[in-house]
Amino acid sequence: MWCRRRLGRAGVLGVALAVLSSLLAGCPPGEPSAPAGDLPPPYLGLDAYLHFDKLPYLEIGDRVAGFSTADPGGSNRDGGNVLGTLPDGERVLFDQVGPGVVTFLRMQEDTGGPWHLSVDGGPDTVVHAGDLGQVRPAGGIAARFPYPLSMNVAESQGSTILAAPLPYAKSLRFTSSGANGNFYALYRRLAIDVPPPTASTAATDRVAALLAAAGRDPAPAGIPHREGTLTLGGAGVATPVTTIGGRQQIRALSLRAPAGAAATLGAARLRIYWDGEAAPSVDAPVKFLAGDGAGVYQPADRPLVRALPSAITPDGTDLRFSLYWPMPFTSGARIELVSAGGPVPVTWSVRYEPFTDPPNWVGEFHANYTDIPHPAPGEDMTFLDYRGSGKLVGTVVNFGAVGGTLEGDPHIYTDGSRTPQIAVTGTEEWGMGGDYWRGGHQTSLPLAGLPSATNNPFGSDVDGAAEYRFLVADAIPFTDRIVVNWEHGAVNDSAEHYRATMLWYGTPTPTAVRGDDLLPGAPDSAAAHAYRAPGSRDYPLTSAYEYTVRAAPVTGTVTETTGSSTFTMALPPGATGGFLRRTLNSCVPGQRANVSVDGAFAGTWYTPGGSANPGRCWRDDDFPLPASLLAGKRSITIRLDHVATGAPPNTAWTAAEYTLFGYRLPGR
């Protein structure tokens, strides 16, 4: 068995923390790497941290999704839109059937606590706000979720955070005891032939230690390195840093300058060209790439940024900008700096290692910079629109000043969905803060923070206010396209100047191909797909898609059933698995159906909650299909059996469109 898979699960749990960085380096000498024909293995949950060097791997097979109390109608009433209320009065914040893994839960302050967590139908675990964020937990729930895999309101400046991955095989429900505040969750849906990741006390402790040591170089010792000095010239002048040939992976890149010139270095653009490309894949200011999109200074009580994948830290009388994102390339990397003004003396170093994994397993590291001086009233800003496959791993956003502009919600769409898979309740919530970081308290956490703002100490560099949010276990994979849109202010009414850098891995080749499409309410389409749904009814619906401030109404035909429906759809040639997308009427809440493929059970499709706004009923929802039931087939027959439930109620199954997507590894 090849070493990547062997270390991916139980093998790593017996290794001491002291040798964790050597495990992150990959295969020991003499161990075989993975065969080129296989799909890249998934590193989900805690494994994503324990194999941080595999973050560039493409994810093929799972579907990212989120729950949020954000208003589907696009207003700023973002606290009351729960999935349902149980007979005992508890409010349902998260509810899903498995398998899957919850990667992130965010609650406002301690509002609604204590919370109740139920996994796979077991007894409730009561989670008190005081249980979370303990650095040296004595046991119980505190030890299950140690800092920084959980954080209390003082550590996060306004949020209660549960970031320890929560795998489930059958179901997971998370409820609040009372009236909740703004809440959102991120999770992965897995096909039923994909086992959920494992969790153990040993692995939790190792990941907590890794995150607690954030800001230090996590790359293995003894790998090749280069270093040197240069002087940045006048504004706009490009200065070469270094060129590295061959198949390698950068593990650490640092740039430092005297403290008095650090702001000028931070404003310089770092450009990286992979494999001879004409335009750089990385092109953003140094400070944004390292997590600080605002003023560059050295706080008295903390490093400016102390995160797992990057840092801005003092180095004697200098300030050092460090990037620890793993960055693989096939034939070469060329690095340069474009000055924002000079002269500035810069000392640089790069550490890298041989990269032996199949090139079509990974996406190259990308970073772009967007400057929006005047956001369009009523319209979301677009920070990223990339066609291809990969995963979003970071956002650094300068929103001008702490205040009402933070009411703007991030909206993240993947693979052509017309509803955001991720709809968050606000900008500071995305950055793990709350209540505007309790009035603008700067903080630097392992994966998020407000490092710099307009209230920096007197005499410090001030350049607006900015947050960072880095994603590892909760990275957002995409197989065909990703769009990151952002509200400016509560209802896209802020006139602040916005700047942002998005960080992602990507390849322009999609790993999911759109296949067959069925409109159940269209007679020709229904006949072509042998669609049958005895007792169903069709009705027209004119409404808009959920969550955006402005959305045009769309008219379609909804087919609603309380029984079964069957249809046949063609798979794209060479598909190694796939997923089914449904466009539904989300004003019918809590829809659930059992799914079969060619007579074999394929899982339960559950779309909890729903919209209470008749003007915002359209939603797209994805269901992962088991690869084992699709292998070698050119078409499949799907059966959906409505499952009636009482708490919460499920009265009908609705669909206006089904689209079948097939997975395919680049190069096949």
- What is the model's pLDDT at position 35? 38
Spatial separation of the C-alpha atoms in residues 660 and 665, rounded to whole Å: 17
Spatial separation of the C-alpha atoms in residues 132 and 137, rounded to whole Å: 9
Backbone angles phi, psi at 430, to 5 degrees: -60, -35
25 pLDDT band (50/70/90 cuts)? very low
Helix (H) or strand (E) holding 383: strand 381-387
Please count the helices (runs of H) and the strands (runs of E) in the chain. 12, 46
3-class secondary structure, 109: coil
Find, among 165, 167, 190, the residue nearest to 60 by Cα: 190
Cβ 318 vs Cβ 261: under 8 Å:
no
Spatial separation of the C-alpha atoms in residues 446 and 308, rounded to whole Å: 5
- What is the model's pLDDT at position 648? 67
pLDDT for residue 404 is more than 70: yes
Residue 289, amino acid: L
Instruction: Give just the sign of the alpha carbon dihedral 121, 123, 126, 131.
Output: negative
Q: How many residues does the chain have?
A: 668
Residue 122's contacts (CB-CB under 8 Å, 6 or more residues apart) are none
Helix (H) or strand (E) holding 21: helix 20-24
Residue 175's contacts (CB-CB under 8 Å, 6 or more residues apart) are 86, 90, 91, 92, 93, 115, 116
Spatial separation of the C-alpha atoms in residues 439 and 666, rounded to whole Å: 47
Find, among 17, 54, 55, the residue nearest to 212 by Cα: 17
Full-model pTM: 0.94
pLDDT for residue 12 is more than 80: no
- What is the model's pLDDT at position 553? 97
Average pLDDT, the chain: 92
Residue 12's contacts (CB-CB under 8 Å, 6 or more residues apart) are 23, 47, 50, 51, 203, 206
Spatial separation of the C-alpha atoms in residues 124 and 444, rounded to whole Å: 33
Instruction: Give just the sign of the alpha carbon dihedral 520, 524, 530, 534.
Output: positive
Question: Which whole number is the average pLDDT over 474-481?
Answer: 98
Residue 294, amino acid: A
pLDDT in tens, 302-359: 999 999 999 999 999 999 999 999 999 999 999 999 999 989 999 999 999 999 999 9
Question: Which whole number is the average pLDDT over 44-61?
Answer: 97
Share of the chain above pLDDT 70, in %: 94
pLDDT for residue 38 is more than 90: no
Spatial separation of the C-alpha atoms in residues 660 and 192, rounded to whole Å: 17
pLDDT for residue 27 is more than 50: no
- What is the model's pLDDT at position 24? 36
- What is the model's pLDDT at position 275? 97
Spatial separation of the C-alpha atoms in residues 411 and 587, rounded to whole Å: 20
Cβ 298 vs Cβ 314: under 8 Å:
yes
- What is the model's pLDDT at position 4? 33
Cβ 180 vs Cβ 107: under 8 Å:
yes
Question: Which whole number is the average pLDDT over 109-117?
Answer: 96
DSSP per residue, 610-655:
----TT--EEEEEEEEPGGGTTT-SEEEEEEEE--EETTEE--EEE
Distance of CA 63 to the CA centre of its chain: 11
Question: Which whole number is the average pLDDT over 151-159?
Answer: 96
